[in-house]
Amino acid sequence: MGLRWTLGRLEQLGPLDVYDLLALRCAVFVVEQSCIFQDPDGVDKHSHHLLGRDERGALQAVLRIVDPGVKYAEPSIGRVISSPAVRRSGVGRELMAQGLAQSRRLWPGHPIRISAQARLERFYQDFGFRTVTDPYLEDDIPHVEMLLEPETPL
């Protein structure tokens, strides 16, 4: 499935882009995962948002790339979601690959830190992340912090 990717700050995205990304995040994090929390947390204002739309224009994947110094000293990637409609199709891997490429473009030479749901630890390890904390609860879901070192030139 080839998606059309858009990257922008909230103020650069159109109102329907912002609506769609918040709706997808709510559908997955709040409804599907039964996790009641304040999703628009103020961090969105200090992030780039990566949106993947299918040929019909439906939002199928989204993540945010958080500026260094907001959540962690390093840039971070979070709110990583693929729509239930496209799961197991490779869209999640494509989304993460796109997110890493954009993060490296924005902050070359910087490590990237994430707070990953512990059940997805293996997924992120496949991209080179290593676990750097013991498991902890965030919104009653086990998480771990993971770090990806900067790419080294050959």
Give the tens place of pLDDT for each residue, 77-118: 999 999 998 988 889 999 999 999 999 999 999 999 999 999
- Single pTM value for the model: 0.92
* Residues in CB range of 59: below 8 A, 6 or more apart: 17, 20, 21, 24, 51, 52, 53, 83
The mean pLDDT of 62-68, rounded to a whole number, is 97
Query: What pLDDT is stored for residue 105 in this prediction?
Result: 96
d(CA 53, CA 64): 15
Domain at 4-109, CATH from 3.40.50.970, 3.20.20.140, 3.40.630.30, 3.30.930.10? 3.40.630.30
pLDDT > 70: percent of the chain: 97
- Domain ranges in the chain are 4-109
- pLDDT for 29 equals 85
